[in-house]
Chains A and B, each alone.
Chain A
Amino acid sequence: MSKEIPKGMYISIILREKRKTYSKPFWEGTERRELLIQECVDCGKRIYPPAYLCPSCLSTNLAWMKASGKGKVYSFSTLYQGPPVHYEGKTPYTLALVDLKEGVRMLTHIVECKAEEIKCDMEVEVTFEDFKEMGLTLPKFRPI
């Protein structure tokens, strides 16, 4: 890690450079407070994380659809110690795998809820938070 780049900025710079052309609509969607996933026009597979090719049939004919934003917590883990540099000072935060009604799974945060109240299979809905240092609006989930 170069010393000229302040800690935390390093990852945000990488992210901005690496953001893929095919995933742009997703991030434009989150800025509008919309959660978008992809659907393969040829085989119907629902896709998250966003992809260039359909992993089922390798079609590039993928359409964006607005997700309901409703789902269930598949699992979760609250990070208390040793966060990555871009999360220094933000602990504790709860990482979770959320299964959306549309049949895809997202890595996300559970917010607006005490860590000890979070359970597997708990019903949640999407909310959006700006992560200014990274220039991203992240979809997160809260209990219904």
Chain B
Amino acid sequence: MSKTWPKGEIAIVGVGSHKYGNFPDLTMADLVLSAIKEAIGSCGIDKNDIGAVIVEPCLTDPEWNSYIAWSWMVDALGLGGKCKHNFLVHSGGSVGMSSLLAAGGLIATGRTDTVLIAHAEKLSTPPNPGITQEDFAADVRAIFSTAGMYEEWEVPYGYHFNAIAGLVTHRYMHETGTPIEEIASVVTSNRKWAAKNEKALLRREISVEEVMKSRMVASPLTSRMCNIVCDGATALIVTSAKKARDLVETPAYILGIGGVVTNFSLMTAGDVTRFGWKKAFNEAIENAGVKLSDFGTVELYDSYPVFELIQLEEFGFCERGKSGKFVYDGHTWPGGNLPMTTDGGTLGKGHIGVGGSGFVIQGAGQILGKCGGTQVPDVKYSLVTNMGGDYMDAQVIILGGKRS
């Protein structure tokens, strides 16, 4: 067995996030600073201990990305002269993993023992007052029909992220025989969790029938089976294990990680019903030395229902083709034996662009006991996934309340 990560040497101690929603009167700065303040307050760390700032980009405002890449947060938080590094990390939806890799490197090599990771996004209201809501909505639609796509081979066909998920879902249904009702039930599960999440965008529970009856968007997906974009922000504090113990009772130690990037485009992906999840998961769980039954929650990156089903099967929680029934029967709901995507995911909580860190925050929060209405009792281990690109970048993180 090869080691994939210095098990238990690095921990998440502080988590914070702004409410997910539509905030025309708030700027990126407002959103992100409130998340950072919450993260710092949640672990009681001295902000002057922050030795490095890792920022994650938004999709809608290149000027904001320059601003934060060029160290605006160092001034905003009064870290001048003490902060050794400030830089931007980007890998689409898998950015949560990428930021942790960078933070882990900084800590393991002794550059610093405390790293702040922060992200803000405005996807439902304009980031700048100069843009009308209508023009902004057209820009956002353009993002989800061009970003991460071949401009010559995909964009001319009117490709769209909803259709990418539609293509994967149809093939998955064809190969496994899973009925659409079972796929729709993932939305019901995530929305049950979102209803308990004070910070979620969509707080009303929704039945499978209602998911099915919403308007068809990209067959076989109805509108409720597609994530909803909104405004929001996240922040987390990562420290060395030594420092973590002085700050909080049960830090969320990073016990193992795994990752497999299979492709850029579905055209070269071969099998689109599995991707690299099995290999990424095996790498992570071997390093962590835990069992499937150890996980108190699984915080699976959703975007669209089929991706959660694929992950449940590739990780071994369900046999191939049986995960839909598993979710339909309520095992992943609040009170179920495998609480899944307990903040509601992008289908319930809301989608804030490169939002991988939100899943890390929920997994860590479950161990730290910071999940409020979505807290699951006695979570000792949590599985977190991030998915980047057109869903072919599979990243797995295993967190635990004990170092070994």
Contact = CB atoms under 8 A, between A and B. Distances in A.
Interface of A: 1, 3, 7, 10-11, 14-15, 18-20, 23, 48-50, 55, 74-87, 90, 93, 95-97, 104-109, 115, 120-121, 131, 134, 136, 138
Given A106-B267, A107-B157, A49 B150 contact: yes
Contact of A14 (B151, B267, B272): B151
B265 A79 contact: no
Interface residues of B, number: 41
Contacts of A109: 157
Interface of B: 135, 138-139, 141-142, 145-146, 150-160, 162-163, 165-171, 174, 215-221, 223, 265-268, 272
A7 B138 contact: yes
B219 A115 contact: yes
Contact of B135 (A1, A75, A96, A138): A1
Given A79-B160, A121-B174, A134-B156, 8 more contacts: A14-B151, A75-B174, A76-B166, A77-B163, A84-B142, A97-B267, A107-B159, A107-B265
Given A79-B162, A80-B219, A84-B146, A74 B156 contact: no
A105 B267 contact: yes
Given A78-B218, A80-B218, A136-B156, A11 B167 contact: no
B157 A75 contact: no
B215 A23 contact: no
13 contacts: A49-B153, A50-B153, A74-B171, A77-B162, A78-B218, A79-B166, A80-B215, A80-B216, A82-B162, A107-B159, A107-B266, A107-B267, A115-B219
Contacts of B267: 48-49, 97, 104-107
Contacts of B268: 55, 105
A90 B145 CA distance: 15
A96 B267 CA distance: 10
Contacts of A7: 138
Contact of B158 (A15, A18, A95, A106): A95
A23 B216 contact: no
Contacts of B154: 107
Contacts of A85: 138, 141-142
Contact of B219 (A3, A14, A78, A107): A78
B216 A81 contact: yes
A116 B123 CA distance: 33
A121 to B, nearest CB: 8
